[in-house]
């Protein structure tokens, strides 16, 4: 594995950090998919544990071996930024609990990768991909990490990400961080994994984990899920707590599950929801969450549904248009009625959203740094900006314009911020998704999640051809992407989104679509040469 000027850190940290910086597509290793648990689902693991076919320790060791051979070497996918040195010890304890007939919960023995902007209070730092936080150890688990442990998950490690969740500057390359280097797309190693939860998407798709937790502000769960050929759930903001998540926007941020099947993603969602007094957004979810979403998974879930096809992305890529047309035929064949919708918000909400993000970024980051205690390596946003300016790696490929713009913003009491919040709420919710769905009596909206993955380019940055995440992201409403086919060998997803707290309905619809089409296939780690 090629190294890129790794930071000077303690010996054990060097062991668990992977400073991969090989040029995209540069690999001569022979790739194979003889992994014994290739494409295994959560129910398959649960059944295997019950039957004694394998132990949690055996499964975890197999995943560790897989990561070593496929992520750190071989094709060097580079989806993981750090591994949990206690993973096998945790697995042994879970095996003892199974032997005693005391499984913890729905994720008992399930290998999970956690995006490295979610705090864990263990031997792994939480870095947001930034060298400024390379030695940052939070004082407690994030709410999500605690819920995963409670459900019996083995957090095998931290997944690489676009540094600071892709909101640092321009022209960034998705999947690159100063700590972790560049994550690659497992379908084509020269292609980009998309979105800030890039390592999470690549890890699950490449069978380095069964489940991953990503985060989204706008597109960062659904885009890497789509580009890596998996299922991603961006929940209603407030369904999953953001406590212990390195923030961008209090208004738009949310963690969510990423998995290879709708059922696995639904199981993952049920394990991490709940009311958290430390995140007031979750108070609204008290009557709107389920700890088990699997009863909503119905093969005939499309029958009688009215689906709005949001046509704004149409015409950007004729190959994606062809896949979307086929998906619509599949939806109709399964009993749905599809109605074209050319516009959702009457006014462009992008400016309001960007301004809100800048205000909340400064406020949220300063609060997060304070939560790290007196030994925090970075105390405030100004210190972070200064660190990046003096570091030899951080600004090598792109700038920190967004951090600098956020630093210039005032407190959240300013009229500019309060006006933007109200304008966006009305424009995206009352006069946006809610209005359109009520006028047309819709159960859900659909649109292609994005275009096929572009070639990774550190000089020019990302090349987003099309996307549909903004309406749901700005409204804070749920969005689920499911594979809908391939452009050449590159996967493309179909997004299903709708009103607040409609995860059960969206899961019913997406499960029916997935079962009727079965587009997911394991990646082959092509070199793109």
Pairing verdict, β 211-216 and 111-115: parallel
Running DSSP on this structure, what letter comes out for residue 23? P
The yes-or-no answer on residue 198 being catalytic is: no
What is the spatial distance between Cα 501 and Cα 238, in angstroms, rounded to a whole number?
9
| Cα distances (Å, whole numbers) of residue 432 to 24, 290, 297, 305, 347 | 40, 26, 28, 20, 9
Q: Is the pLDDT of residue 17 over 60?
A: no
DSSP 89-109: HHHHHHHHHHHTT---STTTT
pTM: 0.94
Binned at pLDDT 50, 70 and 90, residue 129 comes out as very high
pLDDT at 33: 81
SS3 157: strand
Q: Is the pLDDT of residue 110 over 60?
A: yes
CB contact at 8 A, 63 and 288: no
What is the spatial distance between Cα 492 and Cα 317, in angstroms, rounded to a whole number?
12
| Cα distances (Å, whole numbers) of residue 150 to 147, 303, 370, 401 | 5, 37, 27, 39
Mean pLDDT of the chain: 94
Pairing verdict, β 254-259 and 211-216: antiparallel
The token pair at 417 is: 């911020």
Task: For tokens 């879970």, name the residue.
Answer: 94
Residues 437-455, mean pLDDT to the nearest whole number: 98
Residues 122-126, mean pLDDT to the nearest whole number: 98
440: left (phi over 0), alpha (psi -120 to 50) or beta: alpha
Report all structural domains of the chain as residue ranges with CATH numbers, in order of start: 11-16+56-517 (3.90.1300.10)
* Continuous segment of H or E residues that includes residue 149: helix 143-150
pLDDT at 528: 80
The yes-or-no answer on residue 196 being catalytic is: yes
**Which position among 22, 79, 220, 469 bears the catalytic label?**
220
The yes-or-no answer on residue 162 being catalytic is: no
pLDDT at 529: 62
Q: Is the pLDDT of residue 417 over 60?
A: yes
pLDDT at 32: 66
3-state DSSP of 166-233: HCCCCCCCCCEECCCEECCECCECCECCCCCCHHHHHHHHCCCCCEEEEEECCCCCHHHHHHCCCEEE
pLDDT at 390: 98
pLDDT digits (tens, 9 = 90+) for 259-290: 999 999 999 999 999 999 999 999 999 999 99
Binned at pLDDT 50, 70 and 90, residue 31 comes out as low
pLDDT at 30: 46
**Which position among 22, 79, 115, 158 bears the catalytic label?**
115
Percent of the chain at pLDDT exceeding 70:
94
Residues 313-342, mean pLDDT to the nearest whole number: 98
CB contact at 8 A, 190 and 173: no
Q: Is the pLDDT of residue 12 over 50?
A: no
pLDDT digits (tens, 9 = 90+) for 154-179: 999 999 999 999 999 999 999 999 99
pLDDT digits (tens, 9 = 90+) for 378-414: 999 999 999 999 999 999 999 999 999 999 999 999 9
Q: Is the pLDDT of residue 28 over 60?
A: no
Q: Is the pLDDT of residue 468 over 60?
A: yes
CB contact at 8 A, 203 and 113: yes
What is the spatial distance between Cα 206 and Cα 35, in angstroms, rounded to a whole number?
10
**Which position among 130, 196, 200, 249 bears the catalytic label?**
196
């Amino acid at each position: 594995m090629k190294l890129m000027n790794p930071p000077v850190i303690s010996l054990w940290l060097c062991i668990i950090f992977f400073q991969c910086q090989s040029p995209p597509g540069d690999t001569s290793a022979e790739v194979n998919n003889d992994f014994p648990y290739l494409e295994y689902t959560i129910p398959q693991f649960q059944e295997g544990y019950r039957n004694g076919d394998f132990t949690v320790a055996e499964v975890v060791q197999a995943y560790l071996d897989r990561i070593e051979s496929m992520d750190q070497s071989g094709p060097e996918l580079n989806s993981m930024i750090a591994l949990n040195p206690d993973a096998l010890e945790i697995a042994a304890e879970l095996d003892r609990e199974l032997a005693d007939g005391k499984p913890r919960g729905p994720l008992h023995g399930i290998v999970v990768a956690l995006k490295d902007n979610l705090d864990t209070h263990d031997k792994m730092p939480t870095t947001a991909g930034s060298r400024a936080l390379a030695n940052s150890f939070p004082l407690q688990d994030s709410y999500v990490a605690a819920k995963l442990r409670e459900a019996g998950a083995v957090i095998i490690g931290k997944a690489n990400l676009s540094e600071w969740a892709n909101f640092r500057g321009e022209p960034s390359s998705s999947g690159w961080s100063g700590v972790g280097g560049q994550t690659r797309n497992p379908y084509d190693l020269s292609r980009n994994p998309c979105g800030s939860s890039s390592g999470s998407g690549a890890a699950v798709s490449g069978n380095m984990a069964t489940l991953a937790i990503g985060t989204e502000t706008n597109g960062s769960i659904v885009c890497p899920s789509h580009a890596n050929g998996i299922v991603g759930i961006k929940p209603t903001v407030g369904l999953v707590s953001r406590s212990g998540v390195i923030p961008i926007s209090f208004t738009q941020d949310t963690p969510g599950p990423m998995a290879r099947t709708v059922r696995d993603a639904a199981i993952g969602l049920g394990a991490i929801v709940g009311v958290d007094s430390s995140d007031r957004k979750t108070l609204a979810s008290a009557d709107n969450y389920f700890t088990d979403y699997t009863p909503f998974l119905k093969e005939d879930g499309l029958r009688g549904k009215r689906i709005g096809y949001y046509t704004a992305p149409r015409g950007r890529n004729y190959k994606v248009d062809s896949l979307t047309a086929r998906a619509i035929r599949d939806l109709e064949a399964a009993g749905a009625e599809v109605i074209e919708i050319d516009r959702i918000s009457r006014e462009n909400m992008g400016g309001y959203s960007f301004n809100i993000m800048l205000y909340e970024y400064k406020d949220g980051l300063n609060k997060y740094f304070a939560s790290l205690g007196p030994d925090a390596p970075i105390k405030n946003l100004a210190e972070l900006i200064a660190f990046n300016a003096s570091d030899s790696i951080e600004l090598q490929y792109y700038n920190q314009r967004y951090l600098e713009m956020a630093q210039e913003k005032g407190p959240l009491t300013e009229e500019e911020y309060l006006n933007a919040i109200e304008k966006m709420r009305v424009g995206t919710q009352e006069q946006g998704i809610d209005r359109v769905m009520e006028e047309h009596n819709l159960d859900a909206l659909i649109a292609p999640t994005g275009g096929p993955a572009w070639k990774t380019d550190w000089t020019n940055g990302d090349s987003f051809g099309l996307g549909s995440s903004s309406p749901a992201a700005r409204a804070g409403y749920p969005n689920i992407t499911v594979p809908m086919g391939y452009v050449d060998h590159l996967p493309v997803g179909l997004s299903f989104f709708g009103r607040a707290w409609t995860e059960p309905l969206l899961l019913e619809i997406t499960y029916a679509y997935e079962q009727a089409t079965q587009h997911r296939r394991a990646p082959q780690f092509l070199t793109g040469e």
